[in-house]
Amino acid sequence: MPELGKLKQVKNLQAVWADEARDFTPWLAKEKSLALIGETLGFGSDWLELIEIEANVGPFRADIICQDTAREDHVIVIENQFGPSDHDHLGKLLTYAAGRKARTIIWIAERIRDEHRAAIDLLNTATDDEYQFFALEIELWQIGDSPIAPRFNIIAKPNDWTRNIAKTAKRANASSLTELKRTYIDYWSDFKTFLEGASNLNCQKPGPQQWMIMRIGRSGFALVAALNSQKKWITASLEFNGDNAGNYYQLMEAQREEIDSEAEFELNWEELPNRKMARISVKKTGADPTDKGEWNEQHKWLVNRLNHMYELFHHRVKELDLSDIEGS
């Protein structure tokens, strides 16, 4: 039997980061650290994209400003501090959130005091589900002489963070929704459950629409599952959106021969300049999304294709650089 090491906690953050602003904040803003925060909160490692550190907000400076890679209009403010949480940082957090019109606010400290956990709980109760407040404690751990490892613990979170399907189903029964839209919510609710058991991808809340979006690690790009109940098809795709969608598509298309050779299925490449978007997709025809008996096989097909497309495109999306376009 192998000998097991002893896990020990490193009590003082300053044993690793000497200065909060010069050392701790820049470490939190690194891609791997943001990925760890995203995984801890259940959004996945591709959720956060850094915009700015020590960002000006009036006469103040916010520690870290990020955005949701699936929604460029969704701003996330991260405020961090050494030691226990205090009133000063709570006030700063709210000031920065208001100044940057943030939808998600994350407070990180060595210890979140009970009164501040209660304050975050109140904010989550008093605001609608467009806003979400989190309080995280950070710990450092080590086994023997191994490298020190960080761990985040969720202390406060939105009340509906379980995102239970019962709440979604209740919305689906609202009289304002047509029968078809209620079917869409049920379809994507079942899809979300299947996805969580068969993939590391994270998707949005199920809604009464014909698509479901998943992050791929960079704003302006997303993996999308879609359906058409009239024409009876489902698709899995990588979508490019925004003013530079066409340029990014051209850069990706330059790799088309290599990508097509690696793909386990035939990809359909579509440049859609009139819509400021582009798409690389795979379609399954003869699939009726209104037939609940088909849902399991359809969801299995979608998740299989989306997982493979993530493997094909995740690193390529992150490496796209507009400066590589000739004449730019």
Q: Clarify whether residues 49 and 186 are in a common domain.
A: no
Q: CATH number of the domain that 139 lies in?
A: 3.40.1350.10
Query: Residue 326: what pLDDT?
Result: 64
**Shared-domain flag, residues 106 and 206:** no
- Kindly state whether residues 88 and 121 are assigned to the same domain: yes
**pLDDT of the residue at 168:** 46
Among 156, 182, 205, identify where a domain stops.
Answer: 156
Distance of CA 123 to CAs 116, 133, 134, Å? 11, 7, 10
The last residue of a domain, from among 134, 156, 178: 156
Would you state the pLDDT for residue 162? 44
150 and 254 share one domain: no
Quick one: how far is CA 129 from the chain centroid? 16
Backbone angles phi, psi at 236, to 5 degrees: -120, 135
Per-run averaged pLDDT (10 residues), the chain, 328 residues: 82 90 94 93 87 86 88 88 93 89 93 95 85 94 90 88 45 63 92 91 85 90 93 95 90 95 95 85 95 95 96 94 75
Residue type, position 29, single letter: A
The reply to whether 68 and 198 lie within a common domain is no
- 88 burial level (CB within 10 Å; 0-12, 13-18, 19+): exposed
What are residue 235's DSSP bridge partners? 226, 283
In a domain, 1, yes or no: no
pTM: 0.73
Q: Across the beta sheet with 277-285, what order do the strands follow?
A: 211-214, 221-228, 233-241, 277-285, 268-272
3-state secondary structure of 34: helix
pLDDT for res 232: 94
Q: Is the dihedral of CA 245, 43, 125, 55 positive or negative?
A: negative
Query: Are 144 and 182 members of one domain?
Result: no
Domain that holds residue 289: 165-324
